Structures are given as structure tokens and as C-alpha cells.
């Protein structure tokens, strides 16, 4: 074989070897990235304390509602489930459990301000089983005692979700003012 062909084959062989080596390096690098991303801990979701505080003006209370505390907060607190609440009137009274029946006065409205229900408008408190109300109420009412008042912002996952009653759109965030009159 002529020396020039032999040199050419040598050169091609070396280039091929280098190229294959580079491919292996790229492949190893990709595999290493894959392994490191599989073994690396997932980025943790933002902690509750990392979320910016949610503030709003204090609500206008419906006629017939008792007073708010003079120091009622403008800031809402967020629970792990996503419920936002603020205690408008503190109470040292007995707190309900998720299986209790309660006597409450309440007003419920949508984000656009449309009221969808109100015991104040009916002229008397409603007696409800906490077993039958939306999850946001079951979580929120035990935060206050008898005589307390709470404002709730209930996300769809703790409200009616995709199957709301008539007059409430699917996946609506619900807003409530609730006065806990009595635990039955």
C-alpha cells in the first residue's frame, strides 16, 4: 500500500477514533446530567413564609352583623391547603369540630362582588352540620370560637370545584364572612 494511502487511513482512523471518543464523552455527559438530575432533590416548593402577604381592606359587614374587633387585621393568613382567612372578631368560646352542628350567620359572595347567599338576608342564623359544608368551612370555622367572626377566601379545591350549585360558576373562589353563634 502506498505511503500516502497509509497516512490517509491513519489520519481517518485517528479522526474516527477522536469523533467516537467525543460522542462517548457527549453521551457520558448526557448520562451524567440525567443521573444527577434524577438523584438531585427536586426544587422544594415555596414555603408558606416565602409567599407575599395578602392584604385587603376590611369588609363591609352586612346589616345585622355584630361588630369587628378594632384591631382586626388587614392581612390574611394562608393555610397549607390554600385557604386564606382572617379573624375579624376573636373569641375565647368553645371551638367547633368537623362533626359538629353550628349556628352561624354568614354572607357568601364571588370575586366580582355578586352575593350568592346570606343568612342575614333570611333574617335568622342558619343551623348547619360541618360535615355537609364545603371543606373551606370545615377548615376555617375551628379557627374561631363561639362568638367569633372570620372572613374566608375559599379556593375552588376547598369549595365547590367543577360542580357548584346553581348561581356559582365552576371553579369559583368563594368569599365568606361567618359569625359563629353557637355550637349545637
**Has residue 30 got a pLDDT over 90?**
no
Contact 84, 153 (CB under 8 A): yes
In angstroms, rounded to a whole number, what is the distance separating the alpha carbons of residues 167 and 111?
Answer: 13
E strand spans, 18-111: 54-55, 75-78, 84-89, 101-110
Phi, psi of 98 (to 5 degrees): -65, -10
pLDDT score at 26: 47
**pLDDT tens digits for range 92-146:** 999 999 899 999 999 999 999 999 999 999 999 999 999 999 999 999 999 999 9
pLDDT score at 94: 94
What percentage of residues in the chain have a pLDDT greater than 90? 64
Reduced to 3 DSSP states, what percent helix, strand and coil does the chain have, rounded to the nearest 5? 30, 25, 45
**Has residue 14 got a pLDDT over 70?**
no
- 176 sits in which H/E element: strand 174-183
Phi, psi of 173 (to 5 degrees): -80, 135
Amino acid at each position: 500500500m502506498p505511503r500516502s494511502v497509509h497516512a490517509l487511513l491513519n489520519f481517518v482512523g485517528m479522526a474516527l477514533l477522536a469523533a467516537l471518543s467525543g460522542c462517548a464523552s457527549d453521551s457520558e455527559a448526557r448520562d451524567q446530567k440525567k443521573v444527577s438530575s434524577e438523584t438531585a432533590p427536586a426544587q422544594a416548593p415555596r414555603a408558606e413564609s416565602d409567599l407575599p402577604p395578602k392584604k385587603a381592606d376590611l369588609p363591609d359587614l352586612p346589616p345585622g352583623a355584630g361588630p369587628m374587633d378594632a384591631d382586626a387585621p388587614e392581612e390574611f393568613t394562608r393555610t397549607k391547603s390554600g385557604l386564606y382567612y382572617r379573624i375579624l372578631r376573636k373569641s375565647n368560646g368553645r371551638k367547633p369540630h368537623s362533626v359538629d352542628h353550628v349556628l352561624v350567620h354568614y354572607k357568601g359572595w364571588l370575586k366580582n362582588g355578586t352575593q350568592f347567599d346570606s343568612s342575614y338576608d333570611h333574617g335568622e342564623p342558619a343551623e348547619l352540620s360541618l360535615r355537609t359544608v364545603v371543606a373551606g368551612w370545615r377548615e376555617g370555622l375551628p379557627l374561631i370560637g363561639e362568638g367569633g367572626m372570620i372572613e374566608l377566601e375559599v379556593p375552588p379545591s376547598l369549595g365547590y370545584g367543577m360542580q357548584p350549585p346553581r348561581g356559582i360558576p365552576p371553579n369559583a373562589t368563594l368569599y365568606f364572612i361567618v359569625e359563629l353563634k353557637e355550637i349545637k
